[in-house]
Amino acid sequence: MTGEAGIKPPWHLWAIGIAALLWYAAGTVTIFMAQLGHLEMRPDEVAYYSAQAPWFTVVTDIADFAGIAGSVLLLMRNAKALRVFVLSLAAIVVTHGYDYAMGTSRSYANAGAATVNAIVVVIAVLLVWYAAAMKRRGVLG
């Protein structure tokens, strides 16, 4: 399969696209189950999700679904993948920033949550960078 410019996609586009899709899908299922109270959690985690403002929940879900959409668009070699990954990253930054500023971040509760939060941000940044690189190379059309 080649793009509009006839550029063959590199092998890593498929590996990164599939890994990103699986990452965001797993995260979305986990977050949704937690938001709906269908995930086994400690009482402090239940309190955290119960106390989230509706706008916070919506922005979290935008981050998740934009990540899934960006991954699918990347696999489709669509240049809109970059914008959608940027949207996901922006939503992640808003929710994480608010959570830290309000002192409600799960990162304050334990090192595991802090590590997961850091990984989420790093992966989102790397996917924006990767999509931008693929767009510059003409792989995304």
Phi, psi of 91 (to 5 degrees): -65, -40
Say if 141 falls within a structural domain. Answer: no
The pLDDT value given to residue 6: 65
Confidence of residue 1 (pLDDT cuts 50, 70, 90): very low
Give tens-digit pLDDT for 40-91.
Answer: 998 988 899 999 999 999 999 999 999 999 999 999 999 999 999 999 999 9
Say if 15 falls within a structural domain. Answer: yes
Which residue segment(s) compose the domain that 85 sits in? 11-136
Distance between CA atoms of 26 and 22, rounded to whole angstroms? 6
pTM, two decimal places: 0.92
Say if 6 falls within a structural domain. Answer: no
Say if 79 falls within a structural domain. Answer: yes
- Side-chain half-sphere CA neighbours of 131 within 13 A: 30
Say if 1 falls within a structural domain. Answer: no
Indicate the number of domains in the chain. Answer: 1
Say if 82 falls within a structural domain. Answer: yes
Give tens-digit pLDDT for 81-121.
Answer: 999 999 999 999 999 999 999 999 999 988 999 999 999 99
Least Cα distance to 130 among 66, 91, 75, 61 occurs for 75
12, two tokens: 């890593």
Say if 3 falls within a structural domain. Answer: no
Say if 5 falls within a structural domain. Answer: no
